[in-house]
Structure 1
Amino acid sequence: MCDDAFDADALLPELTPAELVAVIGAAEQRLSDAPLAALSEDGLLALLESREEARRKGVGVDAALLVEISDRGAYQRAGYTTLHQLLAHGLRIGEAESRRRRVTAASVGRFTAMTGERLAPKYPATAAAVTDGAIGDGHVWAIDEVMDKIPASVDPEQRARAEELLAAAARTLNPAGVTIVGNRILAHLDPDGTLADDKDRQRQAKFRLSAQDRQLMSAVQARLTPQLRAEFEVMFTRWAAPGMNNPDDPDSPHGAADQPGLDPAVLAAAAERDTRLLGRRQHDALLALLAWANAQSVHAKPESLRNQIVVTVTDEDLARGAGVAWTATGTRMPVSDLVRMAADAVPYLAVFAKATGQPLYLGRAHRLASRAQRLALFARDRGCTAPGCTRPFTQCEMHHAPDWQDGGPTDIDHLGGACGKHNRWNGKNPGDWESTVLTGGPDRGRMAWRPVGQDGPWIVNPLFHPDKLRTGPHTPEAERTPPPAVNHRLGTTGPPGIGTTAESGVTRLSWKDLAA
């Protein structure tokens, strides 16, 4: 605990919020140079406790700050359309941390009503504990998770009492302990699970693919409704039967175990050879089912890249059967897996190496990009070009620079991939962004962005091209922030020139030739 004889308030006159933050920063700097070795063990422990209390009080301050920014839409001044964008990309704290901070702000912050009055916090007891420095953001997330699971039919008084009990528990327990207490409260409120209705189940349903790890593997976060679980169980019974859809057995039957024409003796022999555990069999069954479903829709909408597997790979990596390919959905795939997949499936492989006769320049004759242009842009962009965006190319629209309504042509070096949200970023007012296709420097041909009215450098999205990052004190400024030859948002342009992007083409290869 802090020494009661020390009056910190006496050192702080009436300061503005910005001045107080400056004082905190200066104090942190002084603290980093403080002689901690001179403290006793008790002094170190007391300092740790005091510092954690101050950190927890800061959670409430951050929540109040985010509420004020949200209420007033101040994030638009920085060129973002949502608070989430400002946090995740403007402050570079990432998607997950942005969600956590917004959950905390929504839980303990005091928002402004339409009438102008300040509303009470969503969780009053939790907000009071944060103000006291007794609990941190981890406790808030645990409380919110439990409260979200309380059925909507529970009486409001019981719900409020549950929040009070959780906040009281958080004052003495860690977040994991709060979750345990919360599970007991849920069991007390709905012991038979009969109060939860379909709306509660639909609200909690999710199926989310996590990012690929270093081995290019992906974890799944799922909470299935009873209906989806039942569908999975029926599918696995038919497609994950022993011996079915075994990629390690060339003689394994493909499809469902009860499909017409399947020889029971062949299935029995394959099952005898099958050494896979249940989890692997279900994985292989889901893979086989999705491959079959994707093959059915491959020609449903020929001009779209969303209804089929599209892969870009360099001709060098393809020739040596090594390296990593990119799919239009944003997945990185070893070239060796690509070759194996090609033997059975019929995805569309695009090797961008030489120019072809497909038209990449449409001028003003068409507003929508052609399939050839989309394929070429996928090879160049791989995903959304907006800074910090992780949307894959299948979730992108074709963005004109300059905008179509401003006379922008549908030519390959005036287009770039942009998700729906960022495709609407462009504007001419403060808070909007402007975009251009760079015509010089090492990022020549790539779409770049910057907030309107700022003379700072054009920003490209490095997330889909980490191999092209150029940072560090020894990187020439011209390479670090290459200037465009033409600002398509502020001026006019002449006819498109022939550049590296325009020279990119599409070479179609036969899957059977590739597999051989």
Structure 2
Amino acid sequence: MLEALAQAEEAVAACADAPTWAAAEPDIVAALDAAHRIEQRLAAVKLAVIRELDGRGTPVAHGASSTAVWLRERLRLTVPAARRLVDLAAALDTGNPGVRRALADADITVDQARVIVDTVATVHATAGAEAADKAVGMLVDWSGQFDPTLLRKLGTRILDHVAPDLADHAARAALDADDRRATRDRHLTLSEQTDGRLRLTGILDTEAAAVLRAALDPLTAPSGSDDQRTAGQRRHDALADICRLALRTGELPENGGDPAQIVVTAGYDTLTRQLSAGALDTGLHLTPEAVRRLACDAAILPAVLDGTGQVLDVGRQRRLFTGPLRRALVLRDRGCAFPGCDRPPRWCDAHHIRHWADGGPTSLANAVLLCPHHHRHVHRGEWTVRLGHDGQPEFVPPAWLDPTQVPRRNHYHRRT
């Protein structure tokens, strides 16, 4: 073996220095096929040697804690890669001579061999040795047409071919097992960061995942050619939009006797002159800009506090765009009024053109529908919102974007 491997190594080394640029294209393609076949044959030899060394206990005798650790040091592999070699070598040596022969003949690749071994083990446990032998033959044949990923997908239905009488029962059992595992493993963890942000981690079961995707997908498309958000940022904003819509419906269960709500405590100066932050009931803080933006389409409940923060007097909620006024606003704007936005009314906030805290009235003439993204955009103060001569909202862009500052309108919702 050593002499043959030495000759093979010498031949391969000579090929490595060959000038491929001088060869004809068909010869280069044939060389690629030959090199690939040799690679698989050498892999079969390598696995056989690893299995023999593992069986003899050579790695442990050399002081290693396991064969995988010994291979890591000897071949400079990662432990997971070394462990996969040890496991595959054992599998090919135990009950899979057909797979071992196919790899040695270069009929399959190492990755395909792993797929076949895993699939055959499942078939053997479910339908017995005879069905497993049939599965080996079929999977080896399929390996000539399909890569490892497709081969694994095909393998999930291998019982339809080798043991059709058991296939339906096995498929149902596998589905039930997957469902039990999904039910057991489902969870959502909310980890509060020190700066007020929230880290979401978890695993959704299949049904919840489908519902979430159905809700997120329509909202994750870029809002226009100038949308610079990453895909992850768009998903973040879509999830926030969904939560806002759920809060707006008023159909969420009560929480502590009150409707589901966000509670922000802010000083009068925060609303009128944007001088300080607002405090959430969780103890975290929002910027003055965020407080004013939330106040556009939220109930305000004035409260008088003394110097120690004790409540002295509580007023009534006021200044909401609700009922007939909200309906009139929807009929006029038909959705987010910002130029180029296609968000429907149910996703939109009612924005005071002149902020209520600055003396602006709660009226149709002082309102415009904006989706959360463009609501934040407008509150930065670069765009000016106004009603045109015909009573329709129009937006004046900042000078850096359009030196002529020609007013723009949303034509997406225009009636035809």
- TM-score category of the 2 structures, normalised to the smaller one: 0.3 to 0.5
Please report the TM-score for the alignment, with normalisation by the length of structure 1.
0.35
Tell me which of the two structures has the higher relative contact order, counting C-alpha pairs closer than 8 angstroms and 6 or more residues apart. 1
Larger Rg: 2
The structure with more helix, counted as a fraction of residues: 2
Please report the TM-score for the alignment, with normalisation by the length of structure 2.
0.43
